[in-house]
Amino acid sequence: MITKKSIAIPNEISKNFSFFKMLVIYLVICGVGIGVLLASFDWLIRSNNKKLTGDVCSLVTEKMNNSIGRMTGSAENMAALLSAQDHYDLQELYDILSRDSVGSEYVSIGFIDEEGRIYGSPVERNEFEKWGLSDIASLADPVSISAPYRSGKTGQPVFTMFVDYTYGGGRKGYLFLTYPLKEIQNMAYTESLTGDAEIWLMETDSDNIIQCAGPNKYSLGMWDNALTTLRKPINSNYQEDYADWKNKMNAGEDSACVTYKIDSETYTQVYSKINFMHGWCVVVRIPDSALSSAIQQFRTSVFIFMAIFVIATVIMFIGSHRREAEEKKVLENLSIQDPLTSALNRRAFDFTADQYLGYLGKTLKNEAALLFIDIDYFKHVNDRFGHDAGDRILTGFSAALQEIFGETGYISRYGGDEFVVLVRNGDKDRISGQLELLQKKAAEVKPSDDREVCGDFVLTFSCGAAVYPKDADSLKSLEERADNALYIVKENGRNGFGWYRSGQK
């Protein structure tokens, strides 16, 4: 069914659809842009974390290597001095040096002769057998270093350094010095850039580690298992990456980096090989939250700013669209409505009525009635009371029409004091009753609130009516039939209404 607003509905729907389509496109573009920006930040953060963690690992490894190199140089100098003295009695030499070693940086000192006899304490001889240290000594060229192990003498992690030397007229043996692991552990601890950073010594062919630095000070220097140290399993998406990282360590690559997640925390982990300590590496593990807190905060700030900007822009767009729609609505109303009475103007009424009658003609449903209405002696109203009073009469009469026919018809001010109503049914009795009610309502419309000014004034009207399609099958013909009926009413003295009868001219 066509309504007064139906004239603007197709364009309005189309414009609203276009606006929301553009809004969706804008939001998609903004979403993609923000996504790319955040992805760039994430890439920057990952790159930064890898670089920082790698730099920490390289620095720690360098200091450990320097420390080991210093101890190696000291051991080589001692071996060269003993070789120059060409001792024959190693037991006597051991007794002298072991007494003099009290208070030195190493835990103990001893010798291995050409036949493999060990000159050391009973505890040390047991450790040689337990840890296979003699095999490590045979690798000295000129120096070899054992893996860390727990000393039976001190109860602390230690490692033993072997240096080849000569004694007793050119016979070949080995000098060994046992150092506390703290000598190189301290190199890691001093380089812990954050309390959340963990630094380990890790055995390449297993997951055994010795913690050198980390948030738990009670675990420092303790043996542990790398996977146990993680406390919770690595997220399944990263387990393959971690396995590849460990394979690179086992294959002897100098360094490698891996990033993985445990719950919601992301970690960056880097290893680097240690010189002279075969089969061991330095591992640095740092959570991303500790490495990139400043960048993360900046990333969050940028995201919030962009979100606020997009929301503000959308609100501005919607507000602008609504203002534009309201302005267009006003203009559209002005183009279809009579500015004084707010009834349809003639152009809008003809279009709406023609569309509706066409709809009835196609569906063959119901009838419609067209009413031509003239206010009686309207010119006398203007002459007697003035044009403002005339406008008051027109708006009051239009309001009465709207009250009675607004739910069932289309109302138009055709011009001057002429009104036309297309009623969406052809029930003459019902419409006649409505016209009688309109006569009572019209009588209540006055040119002024002042009764003395109004005097004996009573507003009346004349109306002619025709029925579609009984009286005419087109709007133009229907208007002619209703106009003919109106003419008859006027001829009969006005202040009434009449229906078109076949044969009227």
The model's pLDDT over 7-35, given as tens digits with 9 standing for 90+, comes to 444 455 555 667 778 888 888 888 888 88
State the chain's mean pLDDT as an integer. Answer: 83
User: Torsion over CA of 350, 353, 359 and 360, rounded to 10 degrees?
Assistant: -130
State how far the Cα of 306 lies from the Cα of 370, in Å rounded to an integer. Answer: 60
With beta carbons less than 8 A apart as the criterion, state whether 461 and 401 touch: no
| Number of domains making up the chain | 2
In one-letter notation, the amino acid at residue 133 is L
Alpha-carbon span 487 to 498, nearest angstrom: 9
Q: What confidence tier does 162 reach under pLDDT thresholds 50, 70, 90?
A: very high
Does 274 share its domain with 392? no
Q: How many helices (H) and strands (E) does the chain have?
A: 15, 17
* pTM, 2 dp: 0.49
Q: Is residue 201 part of a domain?
A: yes
Amino acid code (one letter) for 243: A
Average pLDDT over residues 155-174: 90
**Containing domain of residue 385, as a range?**
346-499
What is the residue whose two structure tokens read 């301290």? 186
Domain boundary among 261, 292, 323: 292
* CA 376 vs CA 366, 389, 445: distances in Å: 32, 15, 13
How many CB atoms are located within 10 Å of the residue 403 CB?
Answer: 12
* Residue 328 scores a pLDDT above 80: no
Residue 40 maps to a domain:
no
Q: Is residue 241 part of a domain?
A: yes
In a domain, 158, yes or no: no
pLDDT at 192 over 60: no
39 or 299, which is more confident: 39
Amino acid 478: pLDDT:
93
**435: domain CATH number?**
3.30.70.270
- pLDDT attached to residue 4: 43
Among residues 253, 269, 292, the one where a domain terminates is: 292
Q: 344-373: buried (b, 16+ CB within 10 Å) or exposed (e) per residue?
A: bbeebbbbbbeebbeebeeeeeebbbbbbb
Question: Are residues 489 and 364 located together in one domain of the fold?
Answer: yes
Residue 406 sits at the vertex; the CA angle it makes with 404 and 408, to the nearest 5 degrees, is: 95
- Of the candidates 274, 292, 310, which is a domain's last residue? 292
Q: Quick one: pLDDT at residue 117?
A: 93
Q: Are 274 and 409 within one domain? A: no
Indicate if 410 and 483 belong to the same structural domain: yes
* One domain for residues 280 and 376: no
Domain presence at residue 73: no
Residue 268 binned pLDDT confidence (cut-offs 50, 70, 90): confident
In this structure, which amino acid lies at residue 193? L
